[in-house]
Each structure stands twice: as C-alpha cells, then as structure tokens.
Amino acid sequence: MNTIYLDNNATTKIAPEVLDEMLPYLTDLYGNPSSMHTFGGSLHKKIEEAREKVATLLGAEPEEIIFTSCGTESDNTALMSAVESYPHKRHIITTRVEHPAVFNFIKHLARKGLRVTFIPVDNLGRFDMDTFLKALDDDVVVVSVMYANNESGVIFPIEKIGQILRERKIIFHTDAVQAVGKIPINLKKLPVDMLSLSGHKLHAPKGVGALYVRRGTRFYPYIIGGHQENGRRAGTENLASIIGLGKACELAMKNMEKEIVYLCKLRDKLEKRLIELCPDTRVNGDRENRLPNTTNISFEYVEGEAILLRLNEYGICVSSGSACTSGSLEPSHVLRAMGVPFTAIHGSIRFSLSRYNTEEEIDSVIEIMPKIIKDLRELSPFGKEKIK
C-alpha cells in the first residue's frame, strides 16, 4: 500500500537534495566545528553557509540567525529572552490559538507571576485587532503572535501588528514555524523583532530550528554553556542538520512561487470536491487568507478519530482536532477559540499538502473519503433527520 501523506503541517519528508547535502557530515566529516584542527574547525564555514541561506529566505542578515534544536526551543528562547531583558515589565500578549510551544510556555510564565492577555479570534480564525489595541499598555514586555495557524492555516496580519508595536517600542515575536518556506517572508520590510522556524516543517530533518533576532534587539540566551552561536546558544552544533536546513531554505526560496500555485490548485480541488460529495460539511477558517497547503474541514455527525483510522487503512495520513486524537478529552483549542460548534470540531480533519503530493493522490482521496464519511454516518445515531 502506498502512503498518501497529507499531514505536512505535522512534519515533512526530508527533501532528497537535503539528504544528499547532509550525508557526508553524518559519515566521514564528523569533526567538531569548534576544534582548532582543520578536520573539525574547517566545518565551521559550512554552518556559516547554511546561516546565509536561512537569512536569504527570510530577508535577514546572517548574524541575525541563531540555530536551535527545534521550533519549540526557538519560541521558548525568544519569550524568555524578552522577559529576562525587561524584568520590570510584567505583561505578555499572545493569542488564544498559539501552538503549545508558545501557549504553554506563556502559561508557565503566568504561573510565575506575569500577566497575560490572550487575544481572541473570530469565527473565521482571524486576529481580533480591537481587543489587541485595547490590551496594549506600558507594561507589555513582549507580544507573541503566530504567523500562520497550524490547524486552520489562517495567516495573521503580522505586518500591521508589527507596525503598531514598533511605534510603541514593544518587542514582537512571531512563531512562523508553519509559514517559513510556504509563503514569502521579507524581514527587511516586516517589523518583527524575533521569528521562530523549524527545519522539519520545510523538508529539512527533525531536531533543527532557528531563531531570527533582529540586530539591536536585546537578547539573553536560554541554553547556557559553550561559546557556540556567538554565545547566544550553547551546545555543539547539529552540523548535518544545520546544513540540511540551509539546503531546505535554498530549495524553498527557489521553488516557492510555483509551489504556491501548485499547492493551491491541489488543495482547492480537494476541498471543493469533498464539499460537493459529502453533505453537511464545512471549511474551518478564513479561506481568503491562509496557507496554500492547508484546509481544515468538518464532517458533521462523525468523529474525527474514526475518520482518521478508516483513512489510515488506505494509507492516507491526515490529522484531526477531535478530542479522541488530542491525547486529552478536550478537542482542539484552536477550533474552540474560533467558536466552531463542538459537533463540528469532533469531526474536523486537517489536510496539509506538500510539493511531493500529486494530483493522483488527491484524486484517490476524493474517491475514498466520501465512502468513509457515508459509512460512518450510517453508523452514527446523529444526522440531519436523526437529530431531534
């Protein structure tokens, strides 16, 4: 059975070009870039090359890029750095739909006495600018708003938020893990102070990420030890993966324009056909302003885990916002924040595509999925005519 992988917001395949670049550094060239001898020390230039590639993708300067171990570390580092740098300020602003890497870290800071404002979203998952403006005060230490949401794909107005914060000289961090490599980002124009990204979301391996810190932003390291990354992130560099991330950014830069067109075409076809073929179905999130690869669809009267495991039988990989798949009994906090009715959250399925998906794969899903939904609805005590 072939795998049809439509869960690329969870993780992605390592691009073959990326793997090729990495392999020598997992085998023969195993030196430590901090060493004085040529065998190790000469590898340092490979890290700098990778740093340049990451910077180019973001429109940043190489020295503004710090390599980390993952998106979560980048997020935690950014938030902690702001809090440590401005200890007299005690108010953090974020959104109700952040990834746990930000959401739970900020809740952790709240337990330590910081005040937090969670900005809501509307029923299309859009940022509530009015509440945000009212929440701003002189006590704000950092604002952290994700670039694009991992579940709905909705893109937030980062430029507008950034302009407001720049005028007020408030530090602005964005978790851009889902956006980097998928949509253009130009930090030369974008008023953002810190930005997190993760390698494995853009066809680099797991275990590597980066944090952009704008020149002139106060920075305080989170991982403390050796002098690596100019003293901003200690720990021997994950050389092969850093090289892989550099290559992945180069590929994204090269292919982004045509990939956006390609992914939109496949995603829109999938979405349109599924809505046509399955009655009582709704798309969650703002369709006008979202990532090209993501669609989140709710199938009423059926439960997400059941859909997911039936699709699994055909090798189709997706994810769901239902309670049963979250590992807790609470369904997706993102869809709840959007006010999606519980009935629709339980039957929500996220499809997230990548450049490696083909039209044939999408056609297979369009063929298989309606049968599964129909089958499970027959099993369900609910349905339009069944609900009293």
Instruction: For another protein, give the closer residue by CB, 261 or 387.
Output: 387
Task: Give the amino acid at 175.
Answer: D
- Of 244 and 304, CB closest to another protein: 304
148, 155, 197, 302: residue in contact with another protein (rule CB under 8 A): 302
Q: Which residues in 356-385 contact another protein (CB under 8 A)? A: 378-382
Residue 175 near residue 196 (C-beta atoms within 8 A): yes
- How many C-beta atoms surround the C-beta of residue 67 within 10 A? 27
List the structure tokens of 317.
């990989």
Span of 26-34, 188-196, 321-329, 360-368 interacting with another protein by CB under 8 A = 321-329
Binding piece for another protein, criterion CB under 8 A, among 44-52, 53-61, 269-277, 298-306? 298-306
Our answer to whether residue 70 is catalytic in this structure is no
Q: State yes or no: residue 289 binds another protein (CB under 8 A).
A: no
- Tokens linked to 135: 């929440």
Residue 313, interface with another protein (CB under 8 A)?
A: yes
Burial 193-223 (b: 16+ CB within 10 A, else e): bbbbbbbbbbbbbebbbbbbbbeebebebbb
Tell me: does residue 346 bind another protein (CB under 8 A): yes
Tokens linked to 251:
């590929």
Choose, by CB under 8 A, the member of 301, 314, 316, 337 that binds another protein. Answer: 301
CB closer to another protein, 115 vs 336: 336
Q: Does 19 bind another protein (CB under 8 A)?
A: no
Applying CB under 8 A, among 224, 226, 309, 384 the residue interacting with another protein is 309
Helices (H), 190-282: 239-277
Q: Which of 15, 48, 14 is nearest to 239 (CA)?
A: 48
Considering CB under 8 A, how many residues would be counted as binding another protein?
27
Terminal C-alpha separation, the chain: 42
- Nearest approach in angstroms of CB 277 to another protein is 21
Please identify, using beta-carbon distances, which residue of 38 and 328 lies nearer to another protein: 328
Which of 11, 255, 343, 364 is in the footprint of another protein by CB under 8 A?
343
Q: Between residues 306 and 353, which has the closer beta carbon with respect to another protein? A: 306
310 interacts with another protein by CB under 8 A:
yes
Tell which positions 136-165 bind another protein, by CB under 8 A: none
Phi-psi region of 230 (alpha: psi -120 to 50; beta: other; left: phi over 0): left
Locate 127 and state its tokens. 């940022």
Query: Are 155 and 179 a contacting pair, CB within 8 Å?
Result: yes
What backbone torsions phi and psi does residue 240 show, to the nearest 5 degrees? -60, -40
Instruction: Report if residue 350 touches another protein, rule: CB under 8 A.
Output: no
Question: Which residue in the set 98, 193, 237, 303 belongs to the binding site for another protein (CB under 8 A)?
Answer: 303
Nearest distance from residue 329's CB to another protein, in Å?
Answer: 3
For residues 200 and 346, which CB has a smaller minimum distance to another protein in the complex? 346
Determine the Cα–Cα distance for residues 138 and 115; give it in Å rounded to an integer: 13
What is the token pair recorded at 326? 């979250």
Euclidean distance between CA atoms 332 and 299, whole angstroms:
15
Site for another protein in 322-341 (CB under 8 A): 322-325, 327-331
Phi then psi for residue 126, to 5 deg, are: -90, 145
Query: Would you name the residues annotated as active-site residues?
Result: 324
Judged by the rule CB under 8 A, the positions of this chain that interact with another protein are 301-306, 309-310, 313, 322-325, 327-331, 342-343, 346, 378-382, 387
